[in-house]
Amino acid sequence: MQVSQTRGSSSSSKKTSVRKQTALVCLLLVAYVVWIGMLFIGHLVLFEYELTPSPLTNTKRVFPHHSGVQLAHGRQNIVLFLHPACPCSVATVDEFHQLMRQGDKDSVGTVIFYMPPEKEGEWSLAPIIQSVKRIRNVSVEYDTDGSLAQTFGVTTSGHVLIYDGRGVLQFTGGITGSRGHSGDNHYLELAKQCILARKAKYTTTPVFGCSLRAIR
């Protein structure tokens, strides 16, 4: 009788142990499925963010001579607006460098950095500004209050404007394929074609970047 009770108790303990192990396995499986789902959703959100351009703006079709930015007559003028703290700006500068090499001596570049006075001491020393200053035929301007961007009709970091030697806008938009990604892409090629054609038709592309006034 005592042996029978011992066997019954042992069998019950084994069943309890099996149930606990099964519950643990199920819990781990559920946790794994939830983790995979969260990763998938995170990647979707990131992918959508990278491929979502900024809203289109009405850029000036003729170079605003009253802006204080100099137009190089008889040469192509490439104007780039950047936020020095935008993480997407590095990729844009890489593509901009290619664009300037494409134009060589026939193009003049101006990079306008958003630079509020209270941030000048910090942002003016940013590596991205030093990198731009090393590009041949490029000058750097600071937009302290956002008025230059407003004059040109620009709101987003990474926006490129290409004007011909008469000051007529040929290209407006971005030159990266998505946010923060450098490398050959369709939009950069369109900008290069404008440089080569010199009298190209008006071209627009989406801009992938931060709002010029979003990061303070």
Confidence of residue 49 (pLDDT cuts 50, 70, 90): very low
Mean pLDDT of the residues in the chain: 81
8 A C-beta contact, residue 211 and residue 156: yes
Q: What is the CATH number of domain 65-204?
A: 3.40.30.10
pLDDT, residue 50, reads 42
Dist. CA 133–CA 95, nearest whole Å: 15
Residue 109 predicted with pLDDT over 90: yes
In sequence order, what are the residues at sequence separation of 6 or more whose Cβ sits closer than 8 angstroms to the Cβ of residue 123?
84, 85, 113, 115, 129
Domain boundaries, the chain: 1-50, 65-204
Confidence of residue 43 (pLDDT cuts 50, 70, 90): very low
pLDDT, residue 60, reads 75
8 A C-beta contact, residue 116 and residue 213: no
18 vs 69, which has greater pLDDT?
69
Rg (CA), the chain: 28
pLDDT, residue 142, reads 96
Confidence of residue 213 (pLDDT cuts 50, 70, 90): confident
Q: What is the pLDDT of residues 6-41, one digit of tens each?
A: 555 566 666 666 676 776 666 666 665 654 555 434
Dist. CA 195–CA 168, nearest whole Å: 13
Dist. CA 34–CA 214, nearest whole Å: 34
Q: What is the pLDDT of residues 126-176, one digit of tens each?
A: 999 999 999 999 999 999 999 999 999 999 999 999 999 999 999 999 999
pLDDT, residue 61, reads 87
